[in-house]
Structure formats: C-alpha cells, structure tokens
Amino acid sequence: MDTKYNIGNNNAQMNGMNNKNKFQIRDKPTPILFGNKNGLPPSPKRMKLNGKENKATIPNNKPKLSIQEQRKKLPIFDKRNKLIELVQKHKTLIILGETGSGKTTQIPQFIYSAQIHENGKIGVTQPRRVAAISIATRVAAEIGQGTQVGELVGYSVRFQDETSKKTKIKFMTDGMLLREAIFDRQLMEYNVIILDEAHERTIHTDVLFGIVKKAQKLRENRDLPPLKIIIMSATMDVDHFSQYFNNCQAVYIEGRTYPVSLHYTVKPHDDYEAACVATFFKIHKDAPPDHDVLIFLTGQEEIETCANRIRTLSKQPDVIGPPLKIYTLYAAQSHSQQMSIFQPSPANTRKVIISTNIAETSVTISGIKYVIDSGMDILQMCNFRCRTFHPTTGLETLKVQRISQEQAWQRTGRAGRDSEGHCYRLYTRSQFELMRKATIPEIQRANLCTVSLQLLSLGFHSMHFNFMDKPPKESITAASEHLVLLGAVENIASVVLTPIGKKMNKFPIDPHFSKIILSASEFGCLEEALIVVALMSAESILITPQSKREQAQQVRQKFHSAYGDLVTLLNIVREFNSVAQNNRKAWCHEHFINMKNILHVKEIKDQLEEICCKCGLSINSCGGQLDQLRKCLITGLFTNVAELYRDKQYITLDKRNTVQIHPSSVLHGQLPHLVIFTEVVQTNKCYIRGLTTIESKWIQDIVPEYVKSKNIKIS
C-alpha cells in the first residue's frame, strides 16, 4: 500500500487494515514458478514488434558507436527527406513510430534543419518531466557544436526552466504548454508543436489537443503565420485521432526492436512485490553481468523498499551473481536522481532499475535485457497507481489497479531495444486476457477542477469544450460547483473568472491550494501556508526503512503535533531551515529525512513566494499561533472535512462518506472530533491522510455560505 506520510507508530501501522506486512529483510523470497516443466524456462513466445523476427543478438563486445553513428543507424534517419516533405505539405500530421524508430529525438531536428519553423520555435511536449529533460539533453548532445541545454535546445518543466532567447527547440511537459496557452491563446511563440506520447492521454494532453487545434484555426482565420501540429506515438487508435484532427494524414515508421520472450506465472501471486524480488534473483543467478534488468512497481515506497531488499539480499554469501548497481525511478525524484539511470555500469556489473510506469514509454534505457512486470493479481488490482474521481462521492481516490494490455505490451517492448530480451510477467496468461485492452483516458476519471479553471482562463467552459473524449457530465458539474465555492467564478455556467479566480490561475497548483495561499496573508500565516502547500505539492520528505522503522519513528517523535500531519511536517521543515548548511546532510541522516525532497520543497516554496509577490501579497508569519494556519486551511479544503461519530467512524461533511484515519497518521488512534484531510487512499476501506484538526465553530465562521448551502449540521 502506498504511504506518503509514514509518521505514525509501528503498532498502529497494520491495525484495521487487511494488508500484508511488507518485506522482512531477513527472509528470502519464495521462488516464482513460470509456465514450464522441470523448472526450466518456458519455450519462448516471440513477440514480433517489427513484423519480422530478428534473431541476431548484438554482441556484447561490439565497438561503441559515436553519437552521430548512432543517429544514422536509427530506422527513421533514411526517411528524413520524405518526412520533411510530409511536414511541409500537411498542416496537421500523425506520426505513428514504433519503439526504437528515433521519432522523438530526430523529428524536431529534421524540422529545425529544414527551417520549417521559420522564425518561430519548435515546441515538443512530453507527459513527464524526466522525459522532457532527458530528451532535451540528448538532442543538444546530438546537435553538438558545443550546444548546451538551455541554448538552441532547452526544456521547461514545473518549477524549472532551462531556455533562453536562443532556444529554437523547446521540450516541455504538456502542463507547461497548457499554462503558456493561458497567456497566449494563439501560441504565437511556436510555428510547430509536436505532441509526443499522445497515446498516454494524460488530462493535460487531452486538453492540449483542443487548445492547439483551436490556436491553429485562429491563426488561419486571422491570416497569421500558420501553426503546424504533429501528433506522435508508438501506439494509438489512428482513426480516432485522425477524425478528431479533421481527418488528417497519418504516417507509419517501423522501429528497431528485437524479439522478446514472454514468461507468464503458473499461478497468481498475492505479494507481487516479493515476486519481483524472487524473479530478479532467478535472473541474477544465470544472466551475464552486462544484461540489465528493469522492474516495474507502482510508487516511491514500494520501489525504495524493493531496492533496499535487493541490496540487502545481494550481500548474503549464498547469493550467486555479479556486483549490482541499483537505481530507482519515479516522478518525485530530483533531476540528478532521475538522470543517474542513464549512467553506464562498471565492467562486469549488473544494473537493475526499479521504476514506475515512467519507464514504459517516456524514457529509453539502453542495455535492458530483462523486464519484470508486476501487474499481476486481480485481488490486488495489480500495479498501476492512478487517481480516480467519483463525482457522486466527491472523493478523488488513489488506489492500485490492474494495468491494461496496452501497458503490458509497452513494458514488454522495453526488453527488445538493443537485442533479444525476456519479459517476466508476474501474472497468468488468463489474468492478462482479463485486463482492459487500453487505459481509460485520465480526462474521464480525474477531478476536473484544475482543468476547468485553466479552460475558463482561456474563455472556454468545460461543458462546451471540444474534447476528443468528453468527460462525464457529472464530473464537469462537480468541478464547476467547486470553483463557485472557492470563489473563482460567480456561478456554474459562468465563463468569466472573478478577480480571485484570476489570481488562483497564476499558481501552477491545485485551485484548493492556491486559495489557501491567497487567504493566508489575511490570516497572518503566509510563510507557513507556503511551506505546507509546497509539502503537499512534492513527494514525502520522510524516509522510513522497514528494517529501521521503530528507530525512525522514535527519532522523529519530537516533531509530532497534536494538530496533525501537516503541522508535524511543518515542524520538520522549520527545524531543517534552522540547521547550518554544512550540517544539514548529517541532520537529515539522523532524522531519516530525504534531503533532496526537502530541498525540493524549499525550491517550490520559493517559486510560490515569487508568484505571491507578483500578486501583491505581503509575506507574514504566525509563529507559534498555529490556529491561524489551521483556520486558513479551511478556506481551500472545506470540502475535505470529516467528523467523528459514536461508532468511532468518520463521516465526510460534504458527501456523507464513511472514512477512517490512515494508520500512518500521527492522529491515528486519537479520535479528534473534526479533521481536514488532503488525500484519500482506497484499499479494502477508504482512508484519509494528510490530516489537520480543526474546530467546528471555525467552519461556520469561515465558510458560512458553504455550510448553509449543504445544510451541514455539526454535532
């Protein structure tokens, strides 16, 4: 189970939860049996990714190619002239390029070299920051001639911009281009926009489809320089995309992939994490040292726990295999942490990378010969973590669910980039056949509050926006109602933002959090509110190793606050800020704090503070008067309030849902009367976390109209 804030006591951790005890380090994992006989690997099932089998494995001792030689060997390279011709001919083009074709790095360079962009920029969007940064770095290196990232080639991700006036090829997350569109609806900075990895259908990508399509039409009608749109992916429903983009032309490019042998388990496994570890050591025992392994898990805690277990077990004297270099990859890591996965391993050393779904399509890691796909157990709903919004309950839940067949094939393909490979699927063939064919677009299952605010700033109401696949009407209505309650619009039908709505839109964060920041100055606690919102916008600053859980909880006990998790985290940040620069690393180690994450919190806080100054807000602090902060949180999170009832159950005030305090919370077992929560996690029960205690009178005083409209009665 995912645990972002693991603050509570050890005994409470499993109380009331139908969950397994994760990874006891002293125990070795039980071997996993795959479909075979006599314990030997099954007969390989070859996956033809390029329409033909290529049985020639690349020799391990081949001479290393220069970066330009690598470019010339890409399947797309000899298609350069034809692609340039197609881009020049069509104002919108779909490029379906197989894995390994080179489309992501080469097409922006083809367009630049042919000067199709003329005096404008070439904008390339990616769903994830690690992809935007790593691809920009690669393209800058390929262009050469002393080109540094931030010059001719740059990137822009949330809270980080590496571009300049010289930049002509700009990689960015889809959310960043969407924010740019808020201030320039016609996207005049760009003459070519490439929407890469379009098949992932993130909420921002789906909105961008409509935004760039509209910008292209506006520029055409106003006789402005034309905007070319290129939609790229390794896999997609081409007809569906083509129809949406006015029946545009589609072109297919073969990739350079090799056969991948599939291995299914004989039976389902309840503990997919332990199964990953067992399968890794099965591979580690027999595979050559330079055959690297990629393991797919769901989130930071699972990944770090798995890495810790592999690291510990590999040191045992009876474990056979070469030395290991273990890397982890997930969204919350710093740039340097994420980039470390591309470093070559020392001679005769195996690299193992444990990753979220980031590694499915967003990044390409050379040397991977084995993939371990953990998407396995129907009861566990397998291993892709996603957010799901339920408009009837008003809750956005974070749960682990089964991946789609499309994702399973994407993961499998990671093993066939350099040579023949193997994919160990930790689920049975019948379980695979029961998976969804494709992932549900995020726009159809997510909270639309942020998107609705962004669209309103562009003059569009979500109900009338031209989505490729329209979200449920109930979700749009729920988002509009939230924005009314936050004061961003006058009514649910309005297409004009209020003054406070316009200020909220300046912040690249959830509207509930931006409302807290905008209210904080009046409560005299803007400094504290900025820290808390930064904490909620980053990954957990806490490190709680399974083998040292009690020690970590004991040393952090001094930070615990009866006011809840957010104030506890605030206490940690305050003390960290008071520690001398040269002592911070030791302090973090002593208190089991992730130094890179807490520094990232500071970076976010500083950038939010800069936006506050632009909004004319004066920075103030409540010091020890933390009631002011607790009151301020109500201004943005008043729909996330739960009240204690006689049977020790909590009921949310907004939609009357039954929830429980998460065992990781410092408030677990204390039963405060009213709490605000920041997140809902669903396993066999609905748990709330990121808690802060509040008083009933405060709700009535701070949001009286909300209390009246919902007819809320607080006992």
Q: Are strands 421-425 and 395-401 parallel, antiparallel or unpaired?
A: unpaired
Q: Which CATH number fits domain 67-253: 3.40.50.2300, 3.20.20.70, 3.40.50.300, 3.30.1330.20?
A: 3.40.50.300
Q: Answer whether 666's CB lies under 8 Å from 653's CB.
A: no
Specify the higher pLDDT residue, 2 or 452.
452
Asked if residues 536 and 610 have their Cβ atoms less than 8 Å apart, the reply is no
For residue 313, pLDDT beyond 80 = yes
> Considering the domain 258-440 in this protein, what is its CATH number?
3.40.50.300
Number of Cβ within a 10 Å radius of residue 22: 18
Beta-bridged to residue 624, according to DSSP, are none
- What sign results for the dihedral spanned by CA atoms 620, 626, 631, 636? positive
Confidence (pLDDT) at 216: 97
Which residue, chain included where needed, has tokens 């400094």? 527
Q: What is the pLDDT of residue 362?
A: 63
CA 168 from chain center: how many Å?
Answer: 27
Residue with tokens 């808020």: 182
The answer to whether residues 654 and 394 touch, using CB atoms and an 8 Å cutoff, is yes
Residue span(s) of the chain under CATH 3.40.50.300 come to 67-253, 258-440
The answer to whether residues 149 and 162 touch, using CB atoms and an 8 Å cutoff, is yes
Calpha distance 494→452 (Å, rounded):
11
Q: Over 70: is that where the pLDDT of 565 sits?
A: yes
Neighbours of 639 (CB within 10 A): 20
Whether pLDDT at 13 is above 60: no
pLDDT of residue 106 exceeding 90: yes
More confident residue, 683 or 647: 647
- Beta-bridged to residue 490, according to DSSP, are none
Confidence band (pLDDT; 50, 70, 90) for 45?
Answer: very low
Instruction: Give the pLDDT confidence score for residue 21 in this predicted structure.
Output: 34
Neighbours of 374 (CB within 10 A): 28
- Find the mean pLDDT for residues 310-331: 90
Q: Residues 292-310: pLDDT tens digits?
A: 999 999 877 788 889 989 9
Average pLDDT in the chain: 85
Both tokens of 224, joined, read 């402005």
Which amino acid is located at 189 in the chain?
A: E
Give the ranges where 101-259 is alpha helix by DSSP (H).
103-113, 129-143, 174-183, 203-221, 238-244
Q: Return the minimum-mean-pLDDT range out of 69-78, 595-604, 680-689.
A: 680-689
The contacts of residue 445 (CB under 8 Å, 6+ apart) are 386, 387, 388, 389
Query: Does the pLDDT of residue 424 top 80, yes or no?
Result: yes
Q: Which residues pair with 233 in a beta bridge?
A: 96
Confidence of residue 430 (pLDDT cuts 50, 70, 90): very high
SS3 592: coil
- The pLDDT tens digits for 612-632 are 999 999 999 999 999 999 999
Is pLDDT at 3 greater than 70 in this prediction?
Answer: no
Query: Residue type for 169, please?
Result: I
Highest mean pLDDT among 68-77, 324-333, 381-390, 550-559: 550-559
Q: Is the pLDDT of residue 715 over 70?
A: no
Secondary structure (3-state) at 125: strand
- What percent of the chain lies above the pLDDT cut of 70? 87
pLDDT, greater one: 581 or 647: 581
Higher per-residue pLDDT: 369 or 24: 369
Tokens of 527: 């400094």
- Can you tell me the distance from the alpha carbon of 563 to that of 670, in angstroms, rounded to the nearest whole number? 11
pTM: 0.76
In the numeric block, which tokens belong to residue 464? 């009338």
CA–CA gap between residue 104 and residue 124 (Å, rounded): 9
Helix (H) or strand (E) holding 336: helix 335-339
Question: Rounded to an integer, what distance in angstroms lies between the CA atom of residue 88 and that of residue 458?
Answer: 29
Whether 395 shows a pLDDT value over 70: the answer reads no
- Asked if the model's pLDDT at residue 578 lies above 70, the reply is yes
Q: Where are the alpha helices (DSSP H) in 505-564?
A: 511-523, 526-537, 549-555
What's the CA gap between 202 and 190, in Å, rounded?
A: 22
More confident residue, 394 or 197: 197
- What are the residue ranges of helices labelled H in 558-594? 565-578, 584-591
- Cα separations (Å) of 613 from 123, 128, 160, 620, 621? 29, 29, 19, 12, 15
pLDDT at 79: 92
Contact of 498 with 487, CB cutoff 8 Å = yes
d(CA 661, CA 362): 35
Is the model's pLDDT at 383 over the cut of 50? no
Judge contact between 703 and 512, C-beta under 8 A: no
pLDDT at 683: 66
Tokens coding 70:
């690598």
How is residue 188 written in tokens? 């005049």
**Between these two residues, 674 and 331, which has the higher pLDDT value?**
674
| Three-state DSSP string of 140-182 | HHHHCCCCCECCCEEEEECCEEECCCCCCEEEEEHHHHHHHHH
Confidence of residue 262 (pLDDT cuts 50, 70, 90): very high
Mean pLDDT of 428-432: 93
Contact 513, 640 (CB under 8 A): no
| Both structure tokens of 244 | 């949406």
Residue 343 clears pLDDT 60, i.e. is over it = yes
Asked if residue 259 has pLDDT above 80, the reply is yes
Q: Is the pLDDT of residue 59 over 60?
A: no
Q: What is the pLDDT of residue 30?
A: 66
pLDDT in the model for residue 29: 62
DSSP E strand boundaries for 297-355: 324-329, 350-355
Mean pLDDT of 324-332: 87
334 pLDDT band, cuts 50/70/90, is low
Q: Please give the pLDDT value at position 390.
A: 45
Q: What's the pLDDT tens digit per position in 545-561? A: 767 888 999 999 999 99
Q: What is the mean pLDDT of residues 491-518?
A: 94
Short-list 328, 315, 253, CA closest to 284: 315
Q: Report the share of the chain in percent with pLDDT over 90.
A: 59
Is residue 593 scored above 90 in pLDDT? yes
